[in-house]
Structure 1
Amino acid sequence: MGQPVLGILTLYLNDRGLMEEKPIYARMTEAGKSLGLEIFVFTPADVNFETNRIHAHQYDPTAKSWSRRWRSFPHMIYDRCRIQKSHRFAQLGQFRRKYGHLTFLNRVLRNKYTVYKTLGREERFRPHLPLTRLYENQSDLAELIRKYPLIYLKPINGTGGRGILRIEREQTGTFLIQGRDQSRRIISPRRVGLTGLHGRLAKWNLKENRYLVQQGIQLKLPNGRVHDYRMLVQKNRGGEWEVTGCAGRIGASGSITSNLHGGGQAAKMRTLLGDWIRNEDTVTSVVRKAEEFGVDVAAYLEKSYGRLCELALDLAIDRKGQIWLLEVNPKPSREVFIQAGERETYRRAIVRPLEYAVWLYEQKQKRKTGAETANMRHEPD
């Protein structure tokens, strides 16, 4: 059958060749070797579009070192490219258009609002979706701030908690604004009236920067820090969706988000949920329902957008045990599990996409062999 080859597609973070997640790719290469899967890493900048050759990055687990080598295209591509505002991201679009016919483990997911609307078409998902609007003018903000005491403003394609604002309506009629700027720096809280609110937000250019207005869920712990849960759903070695793990995230002091890159910390889901709900039976029920929900969402989004191999779901769980889907991340990191002390979950999170890649390769080979056999039967003697 031959050895399957997986190419991990990523982006340089700058023009000097800095690569994100390189230590993870080294671990994947080691894990792939034990599965009989060869792995190399590349970016669109490493592809010769005329010869269809790749100047690949290869990791040697024995020497524990990286080297470069020209390679043919792999059997499968694992797209780990995250959104950037750079010429490198434009080059990625060119790559996807030219080579979109190849076998990808995961296709591109749409922006947050499109995913929200896609899930909203299914009645079973609607109770789990905070009301969300695309910001077009002040009335979109005014509508939600009248309806809910807490709302969030989020960039439609933002990541890592960048540029998020939290607006809470207080009993005095004033509004408390908190947030993070595009560099993840915490913005000092401000109290303003309704007129001052719109004036304060004007400099954010919400329409031009394509912001969402979203119903907020009260998630502050007794110590004042916000929390949520990161659930990783992945395809397993049989090509089926399965929850790999779920960990709690607790935001830094003064932060409106729980992102680890913004100074947050991780915790075991059951421990954090137990402190929050304080009823063991309810906790057990919520964990089970959350896992069923995660698999259901992943399967539906794959049906809607094409093949996927993993998704991270950012979940909020209120005091009543209601599960809310805050966001879907198609290029999830795995570090939350290490920080929560769940080493086996972290290991599975690295290995599962590789096991799925082997399964996918074997399925393609079986179909190819079956087609060749069928053709031979129909050939005249």
Structure 2
Amino acid sequence: MTGLRMKSKWLKTNVLLQSHELQQFIPATKPWSPSCFQMMLDQYAMIYLKPDIGTFGKGVIRAEKKPHGVYTFQLGTRLYTFSSLEQMIDRLQRIIGTRRYIVQQGIHLLSHMQRRFDIRVMIQKNPANEWEATGIIGRLGNPRKIVTNYHSGGTPLPFELLMQSYLSLDEMPQYQASLNQLGIEVARQLEQQLPSLKEIGVDVAIDLSLQPWILEVNTRPDPYIFRKLNDKAVFRKIYCYCVGYGRIKKKRKRRMKLRRAGKIRKNRGQRFKKQPSGKPNG
């Protein structure tokens, strides 16, 4: 079995912050409150508000402090503009209500064809019960949205294609290996609180200086996004590992084929069964 999930983004962030090695890769993150929001917006000029528990990028808000006293935030495809911070906070409070949100430092993502992208790194327990990086894929955001999730209109693309404008062919393998190792360290840290953990998906933002940032960790990642890669061996390994630890039940293709073959033989037997002879026509 894949074990228990840790759904709270705030709890996962706190577990990761216990690792001195990982702290440098984690954007500043706080629970939502108007005062905390104002402090972080003043410090970073762009911040994200995310539901503490949620998937597929639903409910994510990007807020920005613009020149000349203008404030904006975007939710979905709609952009809101305000002439004062107080007006924006009032509107945000009405949208958020009593739900738990976190406030996260905004990272200016790299872009491809003028569309922002981030990276998903798949980490799984292999048959030897060791953590292994089994897949890496880019997620190219919908130009009208602030999230890159596939279920929100993002486009899965090969890591190499998205990074070719930023890394040379010689640099690419080493940089990918560093992201894989970062994902493995994240898994090891979370495993201390979730001993039965078998898989994670680490969403990594890369800024203009090529610094990786851990945006989010999913303890039940979607394995099927890797079917979009041309290299089908990546998904086959991911799928095989998922079957191995019980995330996915293996389809019994061979049994189904045998059943169908048996049914066909039975039907053929009935079709060509000898009919009783009648009297000859005279």
Larger Rg: 2
| Structure ranking higher on relative contact order (CA contacts 8 Å, 6+ apart) | 2
| Aligned partner of 1:202 among 93, 102, 112 | 93
Aligned to 2:38: 142
**How many residues in Structure 1 have an aligned counterpart in Structure 2?**
245
| 1:288 equivalent in structure 2 | 177
SS in 2 for 1:341: coil
In structure 2, C-alpha distance between the alignment counterparts of 1:341 and 1:114, rounded to whole Å = 36
* Structure-2 residue corresponding to 1:336: 225
Does the CA contact (< 8 Å) of 2:6 and 2:219 recur in 1? yes
> Could you state the TM-score of these two structures normalised by the residue count of structure 1?
0.61
Q: Which residue of 2 aligns with 1:302?
A: 191
Select 1:270's aligned residue among 160, 166, 186: 160
**Does residue 109 in structure 1 map to residue 109 in structure 2?**
no
Give the drift of 1:223: 4.3
In the alignment, which of 312, 316, 326 is matched to residue 201 of structure 2? 312
Residue 192 of structure 1: CA displacement? Answer: 1.5
Q: Please list the CA deviations of residues 315-363 of structure 1 after superposition, one character each: whole Å capped at 9, or x if unmatched.
A: 1111212111011111111232122333221111111132346xxxxxx
The Cα offsets for residues 111-138 of structure 1, whole Å up to 9 and x where unpaired, read as 1101101111111110000000001x31
Provide the rounded CA distance (Å) in 2 between the counterparts of 1:220 and 1:313.
17
2: CA distance, partners of 1:307 / 1:323: 27
CA contact (8 A) 2:116 2:140 kept: yes
Q: Deviations over 1:220-259 (max 9, x none)?
A: 5264422111111001111110001010001112110001
1:238 to 111, 128, 146: 128
Q: Compare 236-245 and 216-225 and name the one that shifted more.
A: 216-225
For 2:53, the equivalent position in structure 1 comes to 157
2:10 and 2:52 in contact (8 A); partners too: yes
The alignment status of 1:172 with 2:63, answered yes or no, reads no
The secondary structure found in structure 2 opposite 1:287 is helix
In structure 2, the partner of 1:7 is none
> Following TM superposition, by how much is the alpha carbon of 1:110 offset from its aligned partner in structure 2, in angstroms?
4.6
Asked if residue 247 in structure 1 is aligned to residue 144 in structure 2, the reply is: no
Q: Give unpaired runs (5+ residues) of structure 1.
A: 1-77, 79-104, 181-185, 358-381
1:269-325 deviation line (CA, Å, top 9, x unaligned):
1211223x2444443332111111111111121122221111101111112121110
C-alpha contact (below 8 Å) 2:72/2:88 kept by paired residues: no
Identical pairs, percent:
29
CA contact (8 A) 1:236 1:353 kept: no
Aligned-residue Cα RMSD (Å) equals 1.7
The 5 Å alignment of 1:1-381 reads 78=1, 105-135=2-32, 137-180=33-76, 186=77, 188-193=78-83, 194-206=85-97, 208-219=98-109, 221=111, 223-275=113-165, 277-356=166-245
Q: Any idea what SS the aligned residue of 1:319 has?
A: coil
| Structure 1 Cα separation of the partners of residues 39 and 227 of structure 2 | 41
Q: Deviations over 1:161-195 (max 9, x none)?
A: 10000112223331221122xxxxx3x11222312
Quote the Cα distance in structure 2 between the aligned partners of 1:168 and 1:279. Answer: 33
Give the structure-2-normalised TM-score. Answer: 0.82
Asked if structure 1 preserves the Cα contact closer than 8 Å seen for 2:19 and 2:189, the reply is no
CA contact (8 A) 1:286 1:321 kept: no
Structure 2: segments with no counterpart, 5+ residues: 247-282
Distance 1:279 1:174, change over 3 A: farther
SS at match of 2:92: helix
